Structure 1
Amino acid sequence: MEQKRRRGFGRTALAMMGVILATGAIVAVLTERRSAPKSAPAETGLAHGVDAITSSGELVVLTVRSPTTFRMRGEQITGYEVDLTMAFADELGVEVSYRLFDDIPSLMTAIEAGEGHIAAPGLTQREVREHTDGDPQLIFGPAYKTVSHELVCRRDGNRPRNWDEVSEVSIAVISGSGNEEALERRQAENPELVWRDLPLSSGLQMAERVHDKRFDCAVLDSHSVAIARRLYPELSSVLDLSNDDRQLAWQIAPQSADLMPELTSWFETAHQAGFLSDLDEYYYGHLEEFDYFDLAVFRQRIETRLPDYEAAFREAAEARNLDWTLLASQAYQESHWDPVAKSPTGVRGLMMLTLPTAREVGVSNRLDAFESIDGGATYLDRLYARLPESIVGYDRLWMAIAAYNVGYGHLMDARRLAERQGRDKDKWRVIKTMLPLLTQRKYYSTVRYGYARGYEPVKYVRRIREYDDVLTSEVPRPEQPPFTPQGLERETAEADAGATSPTAGAGVE
């Protein structure tokens, strides 16, 4: 099976972070790989070195399936490691090819044998060495993310209150992982500590086993925990293993050692330009808080309420090149999918439109769920189009959603405050720290539209993103636009011209 992902921008990845996240615009050939005997690496014939990569036009990246590394959303390839490696490939001016492995040992065998140029499974140096024979002289790129070790258990299961009680629970961990190393260190202080190591490729697979009650607890990386709790809300983090954080880094095939200077320079620029901060904001910025009961009710209503309106969300989103699950998530945040919802301030209906806004978007009956959905989508689309052209990608989308909640004028005031402080007014990660300042007189008295409940749009955007994460894991066909080949061609042309759309996806060639 081969799938390709178009590249719709030139060598401007750092300046166009929003384009990367919003369009996924780059070519990717996907190859599935099954486990292979570690003693018999394949002869690949892959050309190595910077010159060979640029001449061939292809960077080969080895990785595993996981929400934190690589996954398919409909026909779109997404993931933290995907966006990171795509941006580096764009800097080299080449396409990127992903080869997926079922387990870490097979992946390490392959990168050691030169079957890829870079391995990006989200591992640390210690984890890689654990899965290789001797010292294969693998080269590690610059560290790009820090994570910690957490013991995760079911809320309703056996949960140790401290490390003296760990002998009473069954614990699982990924074989040879940094988390297992942390357990080994902890065992020196708690000799009764025992665990079972499993040959898995991601923390999400381990989280599923705890959720299914095959083990009481598991040790996961903190970034995996943040995602796992949305997918498996019964999970709870109960203990930290150590005070030592881990740093993730790519592995470079020994045959492509001359990539190291390129990577070092690129990561330094990426860090200074805010690229890594933008990635963190996109994948993890909405996961800072967790409300178990809210998500439990949301999951129930996906089954009981959403089916009545899903077709309308899909239709309204398709007409405006929006992501239907995001539109549905926004409607849930507004009204909990209650078509006759109303508030003391006068907003009403599924999308909670004010009377002036309803008139503006052609809604005659705010309590008609289908009119409300179409009107809300129209209003969001207009806010998106109204924003300054300097705001791109998901930053543009989050700000449009925030403006839907707090008002366009207050959003512009938050941008003015950011500008005064010398910060990037086009980034949501900045604006979400400026909006709460509008509750303080010393700030709101200096801007045009005055006081605003600035904490509300920040919470509003965060919850919508969180609902969207859950919804895309619960419903069939959670694809993002474009929905037709014609839409794909239109979006690619816009990306080539430097334009972006709210949540445009990547297609299949």
Structure 2
Amino acid sequence: MVRPLALLLVTLPLMSLLSACQRLPAPEQSGELVVAIRQEPVVAGVEGQKNTSFERDMVNAFAEKLGVDARFVVAADDGELVRLVKKGKVHFAASSWTSGKDGLNYTSPLLETAQVVVGHTDDIALEADPVELDGHTVEAIEASPQWEALQKLAGTPARFKLQARSRVSDLDVLRDVAEQRVEFAATNLLHYRLGLQFMPELELALTLPGKLRYGWAFAPEAKSLWRQAEDFVVEARGNGTIARFADRYFGNIERIKPDGIARLIQDARTLLHRYRRDFQDAQEITGIDWRLLAAVAYQESKWDPLATSPTGVRGMMMLTEDTADALGVSNRLDPRQSIRAGAKYLASLMEELPSQIVEPDRTWLALAAYNLGMGHLRGGRSLALGLKRDPDSWYEMKKVLPLMSRPEYYARLKAGPARGGEAVIMVENIRTFHSILSRLEVPWQSGFQLSRQSYKPGLKLRPELAQARPTQ
């Protein structure tokens, strides 16, 4: 008869061996880095682009440094993220707010933010005091950092009902507040600001104690990969990679105030249907997302086909007379002609930029040229080089362009002074409008679809138009 203790001594090593066999091989062995992310990653998508997010870009950069490909496993909530890491189903979790209580090892934080409670603008505003929650219901995602923070508060003088949600995103709980299905919801400040872009009814009620730090979570036995990731994060913070990706995904989310967002949403419901097909036709011609073209038009004219500025630019896309002539526009106040011409002009600017500029920077720099003229944008790029800034990066260029109105800088430029600060404001506004419209409107699918990079309009503007300001 085998004694229980002897059986245990034999069984435990076999169980450990089996568990180890089920874990993923090292990325260098398999050629693949497997990473868990949340169903709703931190600020997912750049103005409607699919399969992009801050997490994905950071992980892809790390995978590139390791010389492997990245594969993503989507988790429904924070609890599943932790389970995937502990079971060895992924190499690490990227959508993780560090708690220190789950037994995982975290990298240095990539981001830091606050934890907040959010209410509806129609409800009574709180006074930054948790006691003000007395008698109210607060919704939070179960096992999230906000859930844990509220559980601590529930034992203090604050008396409130804590309502759990599971397998949902932060935006789902914010939507419950916006639609007044629940009084308050807990989230992080980053998701609150993102939610404001299409739920202007939200209002910050109070800030919970402590900072929330976002890092990558590893199993304790993955010390070697954790060390490589930690070195990468430190390097990425030092060389500006984290800052550039952060700007790409949420550098503009506070650009427009809630009342401006509410107006855009209302105008999208009441005005956009008149011109939707014209924007979609312009996408057919140029390959540029029709919602981006609609965002440009909203920035330029608020979708008013009769708009006219004091400087003489007119129409939906606010074209100058010279630019309209070059594009074959007979009537700038005809919305169909204006939209098509503005789209072609933007496409020609994108094509004119140096080939090494990648998306989304290519689009944002072309939008700046739409405002400034390509001659002035070239001057700004030259100025950036002289200042040791990257002229191919919008993150860098939006710091440089405002300098073009200052004598000590424009004296060096062949094209002379320019109102570069206005161009930056325009581009950042369009980024926000596009992000909102991408959530409100579906992409246009057609049988004839061109990529932005491959579009070659064959449009040759007269030299004097290369410096002309098409907008005001």
**CA separation of 1:418/1:78 partners in 2, compared to 1, >3 Å: closer, same or farther?**
same
Matched residue, 1:344: 310
Structure 2 stretches of 5 or more lacking a match?
1-17, 455-472
1:368 to 334, 340, 349: 334
**Whole-angstrom distance in 1 between the partners of 2:170 and 2:146:** 10
> Partner letter of residue 325 of structure 1?
R
1:96 aligns with 2:62: no
8 Å contact kept, 1:69–1:122: no
Q: How does 1:399-478 map to 2 (within 5 A)?
A: 399-477=365-443
Matched residue, 2:358: 392
Q: Tell me the alpha carbon deviations over residues 351-402 of structure 1, each in whole angstroms, 9 at most, x when there is no partner.
A: 1110111122222221221221111111111222222345332222111101
1:272 aligns with 2:246: no
> Partner letter of residue 112 of structure 2?
T
8 Å contact kept, 1:380–1:401: yes
8 Å contact kept, 1:81–1:122: no
The secondary structure found in structure 2 opposite 1:247 is strand
Measured on the aligned residues, the alpha-carbon RMSD in Å equals: 3.0
1:48 aligns with 2:19: no
How far off is 1:43 after superposition?
Answer: 8.0
The secondary structure found in structure 2 opposite 1:237 is strand
Matched residue, 1:111: 85
2:137 to 167, 170, 173: 170
Q: Tell me the alpha carbon deviations over residues 13-40 of structure 1, each in whole angstroms, 9 at most, x when there is no partner.
A: xxxxxxxxxxxxxxxxxxxxxxxxxxxx
1:228 to 191, 195, 212: 195
How far off is 1:412 after superposition?
Answer: 3.2
Matched residue, 1:84: 58
How far off is 1:160 after superposition?
Answer: 0.9
Q: Tell me the alpha carbon deviations over residues 456-484 of structure 1, each in whole angstroms, 9 at most, x when there is no partner.
A: 212111111111111111112367xxx66
**CA separation of 1:452/1:69 partners in 2, compared to 1, >3 Å: closer, same or farther?**
closer
**CA separation of 1:162/1:309 partners in 2, compared to 1, >3 Å: closer, same or farther?**
same
**Whole-angstrom distance in 1 between the partners of 2:95 and 2:185:** 19
RCO greater where, 1 or 2, for CA within 8 Å and sep 6 or more?
1
The secondary structure found in structure 1 opposite 2:203 is strand
8 Å contact kept, 1:158–1:216: no
**Whole-angstrom distance in 1 between the partners of 2:341 and 2:407:** 34
More divergent stretch after superposition (117-126 vs 190-199): 190-199
How far off is 1:172 after superposition?
Answer: 2.2
Q: How does 1:253-402 map to 2 (within 5 A)?
A: 253-254=219-220, 256-402=222-368
More divergent stretch after superposition (330-339 vs 179-188): 179-188
Percent identical pairs in the alignment equals 32
The secondary structure found in structure 2 opposite 1:363 is coil
The secondary structure found in structure 1 opposite 2:74 is strand
**Whole-angstrom distance in 2 between the partners of 1:245 and 1:140:** 15
**Whole-angstrom distance in 2 between the partners of 1:75 and 1:405:** 23
**Whole-angstrom distance in 1 between the partners of 2:165 and 2:361:** 39
Q: TM-score, normalised by structure 1?
A: 0.77
**CA separation of 1:67/1:477 partners in 2, compared to 1, >3 Å: closer, same or farther?**
farther
Matched residue, 1:62: 36
The secondary structure found in structure 2 opposite 1:121 is strand
The secondary structure found in structure 2 opposite 1:241 is strand
Q: How does 1:85-234 map to 2 (within 5 A)?
A: 85-126=59-100, 129=101, 132=102, 135=103, 138-163=104-129, 164-167=131-134, 169-183=136-150, 190-192=157-159, 195-234=162-201
Q: TM-score, normalised by structure 2?
A: 0.83
Q: Tell me the alpha carbon deviations over residues 18-71 of structure 1, each in whole angstroms, 9 at most, x when there is no partner.
A: xxxxxxxxxxxxxxxxxxxxxxxx989655343xx2333322222221152657
8 Å contact kept, 2:37–2:93: yes
**CA separation of 1:324/1:279 partners in 2, compared to 1, >3 Å: closer, same or farther?**
same
**CA separation of 1:71/1:384 partners in 2, compared to 1, >3 Å: closer, same or farther?**
closer
> Partner letter of residue 240 of structure 2?
G
**CA separation of 1:166/1:143 partners in 2, compared to 1, >3 Å: closer, same or farther?**
same
> Partner letter of residue 196 of structure 1?
Q
8 Å contact kept, 1:334–1:350: yes
8 Å contact kept, 2:114–2:188: yes
How far off is 1:230 after superposition?
Answer: 0.9
The secondary structure found in structure 2 opposite 1:467 is helix
How far off is 1:112 after superposition?
Answer: 0.8
> Partner letter of residue 349 of structure 2?
L
Matched residue, 2:208: 241
**Whole-angstrom distance in 2 between the partners of 1:329 and 1:216:** 33
Q: Tell me the alpha carbon deviations over residues 230-281 of structure 1, each in whole angstroms, 9 at most, x when there is no partner.
A: 1211002233223x42221111245644312321232233333322112111
Q: How many pairs does the alignment contain?
A: 436
Structure 1 stretches of 5 or more lacking a match?
1-41, 492-509
**Whole-angstrom distance in 1 between the partners of 2:364 and 2:44:** 23
